[in-house]
Structure 1
Amino acid sequence: MARGFNKVILMGNLAKDPQIRYTASKQAVATFSVAVNRSWKGKNGELQESVDFIPVVVWGAQAENCERYLSKGRPVLVEGRIQVRNYDDKSGQRRWVTEVVANDITFLPSGGRRDDRPSSQGDYDGGHRNDGDQGQPRSFRDDFGGGDFPMDISEMGSTADEDEADIPF
């Protein structure tokens, strides 16, 4: 049998607060949905937009961190795999569920004000820091000149000759 490959990377915003529960063996499991926008041009050339709500499951300490630090509307990067499972509901009907099982969750900065984060976030600073004596919270987007994230590295202006000179082999 050929070896398969199942990897998912999502970047979007939480559609609702994470819901956490614990298994009988006290293993934490959190579930939430990530809203991912997409756009395309329709047949008439008009820009069309849609949002997909992707269910995500995360286990262990990462599940507890998601409950502690994430809330509805916060941006997140999820890396994991697609899982399809089935179960019989209370009425005996077979139900199928497709979800992303997360291996890694990255909390992205919201770019908003420091006071719009939940008070239960503990030590996580939401990607903000104070910059010297100005006392203004900054996100790492500010450090990279603003604009959309991820940044477009094609605009960095290096030439092929420069790239080849830096390769150590």
Structure 2
Amino acid sequence: MNKVILLGRLTRDPDVRYSSGENSTAVARYTLAVDRRFRREGDSATADFIGCVAFGRQAEFAEKYLRQGTKIAITGRIQTGSYTNREGRKVYTTDVVVEEQEFAESKSAEHPREQGVTPQADMDGFMTIPDGVDEDIPFM
């Protein structure tokens, strides 16, 4: 079975291109920085930089919504390949072909509010509504 699950942040905006021909397909390439779970005592945090490629609707989603720093979770499969570069040397590649991708944090976590009151969660998991925002809640 060839199945990969990754959680990480985009190192840069996706590079999206469209195949030529009558039925052009979107192809998005991006790199995920995935933190290593374990590290030696005293060592700084390390990450693996994993190349990902998405096709069709997944690529269009990446083009529209994903940006550098976005934290996402993906599932897919590993695909290896090779090609001969301009110097005549054979280059081997390993990519994760994206089957599913989704946001792993809310937009507010990605871009914290600079002003205003951020609701806090109580011990029971429900948020307390700050004073003065009752008029913004449609069902009260």
Which of the five TM-score ranges fits, normalised by the shorter chain? 0.7 to 0.9
| Structure 2 residue ranges without an equivalent (≥5) | 127-140
| Paired positions, count | 119
Task: Find the aligned partners of 1:71 and 1:49 in 2 and give their Cα distance.
Answer: 23
- Is it true that 1:54 corresponds to 2:46 in the alignment? no
**Aligned in 2, Cα 1:48/1:137: closer, same or farther, shift over 3 Å?**
closer
Match of 1:17 among 9, 13, 29: 13
Q: Give the % identical residues.
A: 35
Instruction: Assess, with a 3 A threshold, how the Cα gap between structure 1 residues 66 and 50 changes in structure 2: closer, same or farther.
Output: same
5+ residue gaps, structure 1: 117-134, 147-169
Preserved contact between residue 39 and residue 48 of structure 1 (Cα < 8 Å): no
Shift of 1:65: 1.1
TM-score under structure 1 length normalisation: 0.61
How far apart, in 2, do the equivalents of 1:30 and 1:56 lie? 8
1:40 to 25, 38, 47: 38
Indicate the residue corresponding to 2:129 in structure 1.
none
Question: Is the CA contact (8 Å cut-off) linking 1:39 and 1:47 kept in structure 2?
Answer: no
> Secondary structure of the residue that 1:40 maps to in structure 2?
coil
**What displacement does 1:54 show?**
0.5
- The alpha-carbon distance between structure 1 residues 39 and 80, as it changes in their structure 2 partners (threshold 3 A), is closer
Q: Which residue of 2 aligns with 1:31?
A: 29
The structure that is helix-richer by fraction is 1
Deviations 1:112-153 (A, max 9, x none): 34789xxxxxxxxxxxxxxxxxx9788xxx69949xxxxxxx
> Relative contact order, CA 8 A, sep 6+: which one is greater?
2
Q: For the residues of structure 1 that align with 2:45 and 2:68, how far apart are their CA atoms?
A: 21
Whichever residue aligns with residue 25 of structure 2, its letter is: Q
**Normalised by the size of structure 2, how large is the TM-score?**
0.73
8 Å CA contact 1:40–1:48 kept in 2: the answer is no
Contact 1:9–1:77 under 8 Å retained in 2: yes
Shift of 1:49: 2.0
Alpha-carbon distance between aligned partners in 2 of 1:61 and 1:82, rounded to the nearest angstrom: 19
